[in-house]
Chain A
Amino acid sequence: MIRIQKEDFDVAAEIASVVGTDRSVGAVTVFIGLVRDINGGESIADMTLEHYPGMTEKMLARIEAEAMSRWPLSASLIIHRYGHLQPGDRIVLVISASAHRQAAFEASEFLVDWLKAKAPFWKRETTPEGARWVAARDNDAAAADRWTGEPRPIVV
């Protein structure tokens, strides 16, 4: 499941909805991305997240489908917020549920790495010197690239 929304999300409620009534689930991993109050040595007063409606949903759905094909997941969820955010606010939630932990851990890392590299979102942050667009980081691209090889075998 994927959702793009302005509003915050309730982490406990989202975990419950991902697991549902599936009692084969033995592992749930949760990644929550937060707005930091410092970036590149400068303090951040607030942030605005812009996205490309339509393409964003398409890319996130594809990334999630890729994770489901690589790992034996029972379910997963990506929620990404847009609009105006402040330090401490949640930006993104990634949940992976599986029978065992390795698949859930790896799938969540994969989902975060690929969404950071491929989903069309852009951050604009306000610093004491004014507003600036956040530049993409090379190590985010490298993090996404490490998943391009053959998936590691799952040990259960």
Chain B
Amino acid sequence: MKILYFAWIRSRIGLSEETVDLPDGVSKAGELLDWLRGRGPEYADALRDASVVRIAVNEEYASLDAPVAAGDEVALFPPVTGG
């Protein structure tokens, strides 16, 4: 699974993307967030407040309940500020 990070989530984690093996017990986006928070203090800090973390699965907005699978591209980013 490829995970992309953007804006201040990227800068707090210190990575723009990484490839991970889908962890056991993770089948939903919210579970992936929980697993990522356990990877280190920078992840926990960047992803602490789920209300300001937007999730996209394969370039489509997704909820915490959305299914995720190996081979998916999951992106985590703050609320958008374009225009």
Contact = CB atoms under 8 A, between A and B. Distances in A.
Interface stretch (A21-29, A66-74, A120-128): A120-128
Contacts of B69: none
Given A50-B7, A52-B6, A121 B83 contact: yes
B83 A50 contact: no
Contact of A118 (B7, B77, B80): B80
A115 interface: yes
B82 interface: yes
Nearest to A31: B83
Given A52-B6, A52-B56, A122 B83 contact: no
Nearest to B54: A120
A56 to B, nearest CB: 8
B82 A122 contact: yes
A121 B80 contact: yes
Contact of B78 (A33, A54, A92, A122): A122
Interface residues of A, number: 27
Contacts of A65: none
A107 interface: no
Contacts of A119: 80, 82-83
B82 A136 contact: no
Given A52-B75, A122-B6, A136 B80 contact: yes
A91 B83 contact: yes
15 contacts: A52-B59, A52-B75, A80-B82, A116-B82, A118-B61, A118-B80, A119-B80, A120-B56, A120-B75, A122-B81, A123-B81, A134-B81, A135-B79, A135-B81, A136-B79
